[in-house]
Structure 1
């Protein structure tokens, strides 16, 4: 059930329902695009209408973080008790994939992070089948490279793809690759770094009160200061405007065309 948050369609869902949707697509071998959007992710769609249309074409967009959950509850009486965050959803999907013997493919981040992630996953989920992995190339795709990537993933036997390229690069990648792969693709944000041990999750009380951004700012001030200084206040102002005039925030038409240039 999708609801409008500043023109971006976000699903009113839970961890169980979200993971269940991903597993259902994996079992039936059908394309299924998923992302988890925090404030930054929503605002990328607000500030870039083309990207907003791309997000609105996704099959599942979960509320990653309390501010997006609060928006769904405030605007649409969603009555969600918890957000559906990318790192947690990733673990839920991986546990279910391990239980059902569904191989997964890891795409993105760096070789060093993937090595640490693979080691941790083998220790915590020994039954999990890793069909393959490849790091980001940190550039735009070359002509025809999307078919090459899709062929590698398909030939690996993977049934689920996790994409850790960061927002909005990962959503661009998932949107471009979705028509080429008969399986769910999950844009998982910083989940690779969290589960590899490169980043630490904030204490539960900070997550409960929507202060995860403050923790992340303290961990990576040089990279994230602009995001929280400019985007968070703007998000709040736009949210107040939507509360006052909900009919004026119209979602863009979902994007149906595949991008010819996207990050890999």
Structure 2
């Protein structure tokens, strides 16, 4: 079941069911993609109908940001678990290790992927990583895209963790649906946090919907303009939806 939150359809289920469904997709090598949604993604979808279609055609859309989980409560009275990429990623890696599911990491810099290999070797020593792919930052040709899809399929990966940033990673996964026989998940900024290149906000900030503020302190030049726009617009859109109801 999904519920529309302004511009995107959020999957409604307990946290553990997301884990169970994703591992099942991976074991069966079902060509699927999952969007891990936050306020930024919702506003991108609001501003761009084509991108909204990309998100809403996903097999699952998790409420990554606490504001989205609270938004579901505000509009529908639904007590939805937050399903943050920073929690989902390590949980799925543990499941993949236990169930012998092969994984590929696609996206990110070479430094990030090197750190990912080091981190997984220590924390998930039996995890079968069959690909660490850092594609060029530029737009890829059709031949290059097909080459990466073939490489991933030949690796027999069950999970493809995609770290290209929003909205690029969501568009890439939508384009690769039915081309890559694996469970694709857009993990965005969760990867550098997991491997220690960035810090995560304290738990009290995670629970009070102020994790964005912690990230702003870490990267003010990159995030100030984005947050000033997206957070303000999100609050306006939520109030507008509530008044309509």
TM range (shorter): over 0.9
Task: Give the SS at the match of 2:3.
Answer: strand
Instruction: For 2:14 and 2:126, locate their aligned partners in 1 and report how far apart those are by CA, in whole Å.
Output: 25
Q: Which position in structure 2 is the counterpart of 1:113?
A: 112
Q: Say if 1:107 and 1:134, in contact at 8 Å, map to a contact too.
A: yes
Is 1:52 aligned with 2:52?
A: yes
Q: Say if 1:13 and 1:62, in contact at 8 Å, map to a contact too.
A: no
Task: Give the SS at the match of 1:36.
Answer: strand
Alpha-carbon offset, residue 14 of structure 1: 3.0
Q: Say if 1:164 and 1:188, in contact at 8 Å, map to a contact too.
A: yes
Task: Give the SS at the match of 1:180.
Answer: coil
Q: Deviations over 1:135-168 (max 9, x none)?
A: 1311112122221111000111211100001111
Task: Give the SS at the match of 2:30.
Answer: coil
Q: Which runs of 5+ in 2 are unaligned?
A: none
Q: Say if 1:33 and 1:60, in contact at 8 Å, map to a contact too.
A: yes
Q: Which position in structure 2 is the counterpart of 1:148?
A: 147
Q: Say if 1:106 and 1:132, in contact at 8 Å, map to a contact too.
A: yes
Instruction: For 1:63 and 1:42, locate their aligned partners in 2 and report how far apart those are by CA, in whole Å.
Output: 10
Alpha-carbon offset, residue 65 of structure 1: 1.6
Alignment of 1:116-135 (within 5 A): 116-135=115-134
Alignment of 1:179-218 (within 5 A): 179-218=178-217
Is 1:177 aligned with 2:176?
A: yes
Instruction: For 1:205 and 1:67, locate their aligned partners in 2 and report how far apart those are by CA, in whole Å.
Output: 14
Q: Say if 1:38 and 1:68, in contact at 8 Å, map to a contact too.
A: yes
Alpha-carbon offset, residue 15 of structure 1: 2.5
Larger deviation, residues 213-222 vs 134-143: 134-143
Q: Say if 1:33 and 1:174, in contact at 8 Å, map to a contact too.
A: yes
Instruction: For 1:17 and 1:136, locate their aligned partners in 2 and report how far apart those are by CA, in whole Å.
Output: 32
Instruction: For 1:112 and 1:70, locate their aligned partners in 2 and report how far apart those are by CA, in whole Å.
Output: 35
Q: Say if 2:28 and 2:158, in contact at 8 Å, map to a contact too.
A: no
Instruction: For 2:11 and 2:243, locate their aligned partners in 1 and report how far apart those are by CA, in whole Å.
Output: 22
Q: Which position in structure 2 is the counterpart of 1:253?
A: none
Task: Give the SS at the match of 1:116.
Answer: helix
Q: Which position in structure 1 is the counterpart of 2:42?
A: 42
Q: Which position in structure 1 is the counterpart of 2:242?
A: 243
Task: Give the SS at the match of 2:178.
Answer: helix
Alpha-carbon offset, residue 226 of structure 1: 0.8
Which gives a bigger RCO, structure 1 or 2 (Cα 8 Å, sep 6+)?
1
Alpha-carbon offset, residue 216 of structure 1: 0.3
Q: Which position in structure 1 is the counterpart of 2:29?
A: 29
Considering only aligned residues, what root-mean-square deviation do their CA atoms show, in Å? 1.0
Is 1:75 aligned with 2:53?
A: no
Q: Which position in structure 2 is the counterpart of 1:61?
A: 61
Alpha-carbon offset, residue 7 of structure 1: 2.1
Q: Which position in structure 2 is the counterpart of 1:259?
A: none
Q: Which runs of 5+ in 1 are unaligned?
A: 247-264
Alpha-carbon offset, residue 72 of structure 1: 1.0
Q: Deviations over 1:217-254 (max 9, x none)?
A: 000000000111111011000111111114xxxxxxxx
